[in-house]
Chain A
Amino acid sequence: MARRIAIVEDDLAIRENYADALRRQGYDVSGYADRARALEAFRQRLPDLVIIDVGLGDDIEGGYELCRDLRAASPVLPIMFLTARDSELDVISGLRLGADDYLDKTTSLQHLIARVVTLFRRVDALRAPDHAEDVLTVDALKVEQERMRVSWQDQEIPLTVTEFWMVRALVRRPGHVKSRQQLMDEANVVVDLATVTSHIKRIRKKFVAIDADFERIETVHGIGYRWRA
């Protein structure tokens, strides 16, 4: 049975474009123009993945409200924000509400699809019984590639998909400098380079929250970042 994706987006053209693209990938996509209609439908049955626009017409923060409601309904439901807004604050609020990823509308359909696929794979991996997984271990860092989980000193770090991909890109070749452009490519995002800086900063903070002495992600000024071996 096809996986069901719900797109909550007030702009008809975008909604249909995304829906068409995802349908072509074999997903069962339904679109909703506002929060009320989406909630109505979700009450009947939760989809497998939700893509939410933050601003829903006049309901400026409607996306956040919806995210909160959905997270309350299901703690594991993958939720992805897709928005024209791209300020730090928006990103942080979205993630704090339990969204799994946050993309802006400049992201291409391919990247979107890649993310959707990734999120589903992670859900599957989490559901599946333990099996020999492709695990990358560098010192105290453990990267479970299927489940898209990262642990440091045996404690899980709650990373978004974008952040996970960036960490994985750094860790795959410890000591090698990754430029911001490379990180962006690996994470399947097209943002401006400064956004990469803030992503890295957030990743560092998440590590530091667990290990106050964490200093492995190093800035190489003018070039990029590297994982210090």
Chain B
Amino acid sequence: MSLRAQLAAVSLALLLVPLAAWQLLGRLEGVVRDGEERAQQAVAAATARSLRSEPSIRSLPAGAVLYARPLTYRLIPDGYGDEWRSGTPYRQVLSGGRVQAEVELAEADRRLAIWIKVNDVTPVWGDAPPPTPVVGDEYQLGGAANAPQVDQVLLDLGAGSARVTFRVWAAGPGPVRGVPVTPASVFPPPVGVWQRREDGPGYQIEMVASGSQRIDSLGVTVLDASAPAPGAPVIRAGTGAPIALLRYDGELSTQLESLLPPGARAWILHADGWVVARASRLDVGDPYTGVSWIWSLIYRWFLASRFAAPEVRDDTTFRLFGEELEAAQRAPGASVWRPAPGRDDVVVSTATVLSPGYFLLVEQPNAALGRLVAEGLGGLVVTTVVVMAAIALLLLGYATWLSLRVRRLARAADAAVTSPDRIASFPRSGARDEIGDLNRSFSALLTELRDHNAYLQTLADKLSHELHTPLAVVRSSLENLRLSPLPNDAEEYASRAEDGVRRLGAILSAMSEASRLERSIEDTDRERFDLVEVLAGCVAGYRIVHGDRRIRWDTEQAVAPMWGAPELIAQMLDKLVDNALDFSEPEAPVSVVLDRRGNDWQLTVRNRGPLLPAGAEVRIFESLVSHRPAKPAHLGLGLYIVRLIARFHEGDATARNAASGEGVEIQVRLAADPG
């Protein structure tokens, strides 16, 4: 992993910044919401307090109610439920044993439309016998004796103290009329249509009741005639006694409106969600004006605390549902936030208990959140993105700079140390940081290495120079000794000493040869010559000198033009052949081969003999390095000279064990003369 990638990974930590900001903003949003909720609850509580003293609130019926919504459209009583279907939320289920009935009420101009749907697997049609009057104004339809012969519905209409019970039955689908159980003139008999149920077994009745007085209580009772046998209990479902009829109160709505702060909407609700009064309209503006939709989207999806599910509440809604209402059953006040339907606005809705069984619901669109989003989120996102981008860029730049410097350092080091014995100068950095220190350490190290190398390279020279004088002393002393007669035993020692001096002299001369060549090689004059001629001549010479050895010479080149110093080439071949002969088995041939390799001549000298140890291929060309056991004293200067000369001819020398595995071959590449 590169330095840059590592820093990029580390800079991922920057992502914590927007995360933290998001957390912070979320908490801030919570605080804002909390404040808004408290304020609204205070408003709701104050409004509720004012309302409680109103007589119309006090007169709200307690206990179970049936709700009649205002009829906002024209109704044709035909026994079919198409007018009612839209009002499924207004369905009021009447409890009963096996029979279940749904009742729905709507009212317009004192005409009460009643929709009854009965779920009955065994509808019984027919004419009903007259009822049996009982004591008082009660009548008895139950009991074994009075088990109904047909399915009937009893409607109890009440207004003030007046109360009338109508029986409704049908011999078949079609118009029906309520038959009063007790004679009465307060209410004309309700009329309507009895039909088979459209969506299952049973029947449905659509009736319209009216009266000179406003109906204020209603009882709906279903008598099921499908009792299996005489004496079985009558199955009835319904309200039993008439219960209060609750309706939307326009006057109360007006009163409520006067109590509300502008922009807010309020509802007075029965515990079951029936709308008793509604004031004002929700003044839903667009608080995000000037705020990009993207912020509101981001706010809605990523930042906001939970929103309640949106609810459709408008002028035609007469029953409300919502979490706040459920919550208000348990606590004195509860608020939820929900998005205004179809808009980007947010509405806070607070429910509080108005009187037993009734709630006050206050709704208000909230602009504070919009502002928070606009000013907080937008600013935050922009700022963090800009800051993050800037920091990331900065880090990336810094990493690039660092890795550039490190790479430059590595490249300089590579360039400086091209080979173990050649160390070029190393640029010294002035930077004061750790990389600068590293650079200087490198520089110092390489300088030291170069000095040491230079010392090693001149060691042979220095040694030979320093040893010359004492050697001359020994030699001249010995020679003087020779000039006078010696005792016999001294003679032997003297000749041994002379032998030693001679050998020492040879070693010194070999050592100085390398250093002398090194010093003078650059001044050598170059000329154009034929490599084949030089090599062939040399090999011919070696064959004369080393008569007992086989030296092969092989090339396909007729001429091999070169630009250089033929004496040096000859000197180089001397060393190569000497070296090959030294390390070769006495019977084995030494071969000298010249090939063309691209723009170079490749001279290969091969001998059969001991192999090079691994890793010695490069070092073998260094001064005073020898790896193979040889019979004569081998100083390891020959191949050093070979390489000097090869490099002078823009080439190089390499050594390797021959592919046959029987010996060593040394290859010298020499630049051919392009001209």
Q: Chain A: which residue is nearest B483 at the CB level?
A: A24
A223 smallest CB distance to B (angstroms)? 4
Taking a contact as CB atoms closer than 8 A, the residue among B471, B513, B539 that contacts A192 in the complex is: B513
Contact B510 A222 (CB under 8 A): no
Which stretch from A28-36, A64-72, A102-110, A136-144 is at the chain B interface? A102-110
Given A13-B473, A221-B570, A222-B538, does the pair A194, B479 have CB atoms closer than 8 Å? Answer: no
Q: Are A194 and B540 in contact (CB under 8 A)?
A: no
Give, as a whole number of angstroms, the nearest-CB distance from B293 to chain A: 90
| B468 A105 Cβ-Cβ under 8 A | yes
Are the CB atoms of B567 and A84 closer together than 8 Å? no
A194 contacts which of B473, B513, B542, B569 (Cβ < 8 Å)? B513
Which of A110, A192, A219 contacts B479 (CB under 8 A)? Answer: A110
- Check if A221 sits within 8 Å of B538, measured CB to CB: yes
Interface centre among A87, A194, A197, A224 (most CB of B within 10 A): A194
- Residues of chain B in range 537-589 having any CB-CB distance to chain A below 8 Å: 537-542, 544, 566-567, 569-571, 573-574
Contact, CB under 8 Å: B566 / A105 = no
Interface residue A11 (Cβ < 8 Å from any Cβ of B): yes
B476:A221 contact, CB within 8 angstroms: no
Asked if B6 lies at the interface with its beta carbon under 8 angstroms from chain A, I say no
Complex Cα distance, B98 from A98, in Å, reads 147
The 8 Å CB contact of A21, one of B480, B512, B517, B570, is B480
- List, in ascending order, chain A residues with CB within 8 A of B510's CB: 192
Query: CB of A41 within 8 A of chain B?
Result: no
Closest chain A residue, CB of each to CB of B510: A192
CA distance A108 to B472 in the complex (A): 9
Q: When the two chains form their complex, are residues A84 and B465 in contact, meaning their CB atoms are under 8 A apart? A: yes
Task: Collect the chain B residues with CB atoms within 8 Å of residue A215's CB.
Answer: none
Residue numbers in A under 8 Å from B574 (CB-CB): 193, 222
B516 with A108: CB separation less than 8 A: no
**Minimal beta-carbon separation of B655 from chain A (angstroms):** 22
- A194-222 contacts to B (CB < 8 Å): 194, 197-198, 201, 219-222
A201 to B524 CA separation, bound complex (whole angstroms): 11
Instruction: From the candidates A14, A104, A192, A221, name the one contacting B566 in the complex (CB within 8 A).
Output: A221
Q: Cβ of B544: which chain A residues have Cβ within 8 Å of it?
A: 223
A20 in contact with B570 (CB, 8 Å): no
Cross-chain contact B540 with A223 (CB below 8 angstroms): yes
In this assembly, does B505 line the interface, its C-beta being within 8 Å of a C-beta of chain A? yes
Most buried by A among B473, B476, B480, B520: B476
- Cα separation A84 to B397 with both chains bound (whole Å): 62
Q: How many residues of B contact A (CB 8 A)?
A: 39
Asked if A222 meets B537 with Cβ closer than 8 Å, knowing A21-B479, A106-B505, the reply is yes
Contacts A20-B480, A220-B541 given; indicate if A197 touches B468 (C-beta within 8 A): no
Bound together, the chains give a CA A109 to CA B480 distance in angstroms of 8
- For residue A194, which residues in chain B have a CB less than 8 angstroms away from its CB? 513, 516-517, 571
**CA distance in complex: A193, B534 (Å):** 17
B289 within 8 A of A: no
Residue of A nearest to B473 (CB): A13
In the complex, the chain A residue whose C-beta lies closest to that of B543 is: A222
Instruction: Tell me which residues across on chain A come within 8 A of B480, comparing CB atoms.
Output: 17, 20-21, 109
Knowing A20-B480, A192-B512, A221-B570, the reply to whether A105 touches B538 (Cβ < 8 A) is no
- Chain B residues with CB under 8 Å of A108's CB are 475, 479
CA distance A144 to B473 in the complex (A): 36
A222, B570: Cβ atoms under 8 Å? yes
**Is B519's CB within 8 Å of the partner chain A?**
yes
Alpha-carbon distance between A192 and B468 when the two chains are bound, in angstroms? 14
Q: How far is the CA of A66 from the CA of B508 in the complex (A)?
A: 28
Residue of B517, B520, B537 near A223 (CB, 8 A) is B537
Residue B375 at the chain A interface, CB threshold 8 Å? no
**B477 on interface, CB distance cutoff 8 Å:** yes
List, in ascending order, chain A residues with CB within 8 A of B473's CB. 11, 13-14, 17
CB contacts (< 8 Å) of A198 on chain B: these are: 520
Asked if B533 lies at the interface with its beta carbon under 8 angstroms from chain A, I say: yes
**B571 (CB) vs chain A CBs: closest residue:** A194
Contact present for B516 and A86 (CB under 8 Å): yes
Does B509 belong to the interface (CB within 8 Å)?
Answer: yes
Does A190 have its Cβ within 8 Å of any Cβ on chain B? yes
Please, how many angstroms separate the alpha-carbon atoms of A191 and B520 in the complex? 17
**Is the pair B468, A17 in contact by a Cβ cutoff of 8 Å?**
no
What are 17 A-B contacts defined by CB distance under 8 Å? A11-B469, A13-B477, A14-B469, A14-B476, A17-B477, A87-B516, A106-B471, A106-B472, A106-B475, A106-B508, A109-B479, A194-B513, A194-B516, A201-B567, A219-B567, A220-B541, A222-B539
Give A contacts to B, CB under 8 Å. Answer: 11, 13-14, 17-18, 20-21, 24, 84-89, 104-106, 108-110, 190-194, 197-198, 201, 219-224
Known: A21-B483, A219-B567. 10 other contacts (CB 8 A): A14-B472, A17-B479, A21-B476, A84-B468, A106-B475, A108-B475, A194-B513, A194-B571, A198-B520, A223-B538
Which residues of chain B have a CB within 8 Å of any CB of chain A? 465, 468-469, 471-473, 475-477, 479-480, 483, 505, 508-510, 512-513, 516-517, 519-520, 533-535, 537-542, 544, 566-567, 569-571, 573-574
* Pairs of residues from A and B, 3 with the lowest C-beta to C-beta distance, nearest first: A222-B538, A222-B541, A17-B476
